[in-house]
Amino acid sequence: MTNEIHNYKQLIELAVLDAHGLLEPIEADLFNRSFHDAPASVQDEIIQIQRDFALDESLLPSVTPPSSLKKKVLHAVAEAADKEARRLAPLALIGARASAMRGKLGTSKQTYFWRTAALILFGVAVVLGIMAVESNRRATRVSQVAMNMNATSTIADIVGPEFRLFIGNPYCHVTRLEREFGNNDGYLRVAVNERFGGGYVLGLDLQDGDEIIIQGTTQDGEVLELARFTAHGPIVGHSFDIAKELVPGLTIAAVDAKTGNRWI
Amino acid sequence: MRRVAIGEEDAITELYNRYGALVFKLSIQFLSNNAEAEDAVQEVFVRLWKTADRFDPRKAKLVTWVMLITRRHLIDCIRRKTVRPKSHELDDQHQLSATEDQNASNMMLQERNAALWHALKALPEMQRTVIERAYFQGFTLREVSLQIDAPLGTVKSALSRGLLRLREHGLKDSSAL
């Protein structure tokens, strides 16, 4: 991440573009950071400018929405809320069932006895568990090395051997990105060679048809499109060029080319 | 917005009462017919409900947030509707089709909003071009910069200055009425 602070003129310029929703996600982030770093008087000025733009109706058409639209809007929001509630219903049931079970349990001496026994058994299980984890960690260290080598070979078979030049290269700075919204499937690893330039993006667990743009913001605030690719399978590898002079302080982000949603 | 976030119907009704007309007017300005604009308004309010917990009153007024979400949604709508050339594939043919799209979009703008069109025509060519392409055709600033072969910083400055001048023009016209 760069620590670039925009000057006053740039901030006002960006505030106008931000108010109109015209900043790319990575630029909007930079603007937000600069806004928070700005003096309170400048923040107030920006808030006022953006409010004036939002309220300005002078160039908007003189139309009024149909009266039926309000009902449609409320229905659409209610429907979305219901859908979300149905999606979360299984989680809510866990709490409900637990509460129901608690209601049925008695508080007799027998109950206290079993609870004490369960606590003791739990304590023993925790101690044994810690011992088992420790010995298991030693045992798996060797197998992990072997597994990593296997995984690297498998990925190299799919995306080509070029990714070995970047992933795991000590000169490469690797940024891991995940979807900001929507499903949580997939992630990207973007490696940039800080010594010689050039980079590589590796996408894992992507969905077919995902079209992704990798962007980099230089220390000067310029946003570069480093790579753009479409996933035709869960694993995608793509190299890109970037001059080594541009690498210091480069901020990496990605955007879904179809929806504009960010990977952060 | 906290009440909106938890889905309180009264809060959503109040939000619509305050900003529904503004969102509708902006949607009409961007989209080609009333049905699309009405759909967009519904989608915007669902989006407002979903993102309500991210609203920070220390950073922006509520109306700014509502209009930002609306504008982003409308730009997304235009981007989804328009088949656009990828930035690295821009050649003469694509530039020609961009010009054709621009003409079609300009015609739509003229029909929908004479005041805006009048104000746009008064702008210097560079400012007018970047506003039309970025704001009404949904091109990213980087794409506009490649299309018109100008540095990104120049495009940003022209766009910002153009939008400020458009607003001044609108205010002058409305005060003259």
Are B135 and A58 within 8 A, CB to CB? no
Are A223 and B152 within 8 A, CB to CB? yes
* Cβ of residue A71 closer than 8 Å to a chain B Cβ: no
Annotation: CATH topology of B85-176: Arc Repressor Mutant, subunit A (1.10.10)
Instruction: Detail the DSSP E strand segments found in A157-259.
Output: 172-178, 187-193, 199-204, 211-217, 223-230, 236-240, 251-256
Distance from CA of A246 to the nearest CA of B (A): 16
Buried b (16+ CB within 10 A) or exposed e, B125-140: ebbbbbbbbbbbbbbb
pLDDT average, residue stretch A153-166? 77
Q: Could you state, in order of their start, the residue ranges of all structural domains in chain B?
A: 2-79, 85-176
Confidence at A99, pLDDT banded by 50, 70, 90:
low
Structure-token pair, residue A171: 């000169």
Task: List CB contacts (< 8 A) between B17 and chain A.
Answer: 70
pLDDT average, residue stretch A55-76? 86
Element (H, E) at A262: strand A262-263
* Cβ of residue B91 closer than 8 Å to a chain A Cβ: no
Q: Considering only alpha carbons, which residue of chain A is nearest residue B109? A: A61
Could you report the predicted ipTM of this complex, rounded to two decimals?
Answer: 0.75
pLDDT average, residue stretch A237-253? 88
Instruction: Give A 211-230 residues with CB within 8 A of chain B.
Output: 222-223, 225, 228
Are A22 and B159 within 8 A, CB to CB? yes
> Which pLDDT value is given to residue B45?
93
Instruction: Give B 117-156 residues with CB within 8 A of chain A.
Output: 119, 134-135, 140-142, 152-153, 156
> Which pLDDT value is given to residue B127?
93
* B163 vs A81: which has the higher pLDDT: B163
Judge contact between A58 and B173, C-beta under 8 A.
yes
Q: Considering only alpha carbons, which residue of chain B is nearest residue A50? A: B64
Is B2-79's fold the same as B85-176's? no
Residue-wise pLDDT for B120-175, tens only, equals 888 999 999 999 888 878 888 888 999 999 998 899 999 999 999 888 876 666 55
What top-level class would CATH report for the domain A162-263? mainly beta
Judge contact between A49 and A17, C-beta under 8 A.
no
From residue A97, give the alpha-carbon distance in Å to each of A86, A88, A105: 17, 15, 13
Task: List CB contacts (< 8 A) between A56 and chain B.
Answer: 167, 170-171
Confidence at A262, pLDDT banded by 50, 70, 90:
confident
* Cβ of residue A76 closer than 8 Å to a chain B Cβ: yes
Residue of B50, B79, B163 lying closest to A20 (CB–CB): B163
> Which pLDDT value is given to residue A138?
59
CATH architecture for segment(s) B2-79: Orthogonal Bundle (1.10)
Judge contact between A237 and A154, C-beta under 8 A.
no
Helices A8-19 and B152-176, packing angle to 10 deg: 70
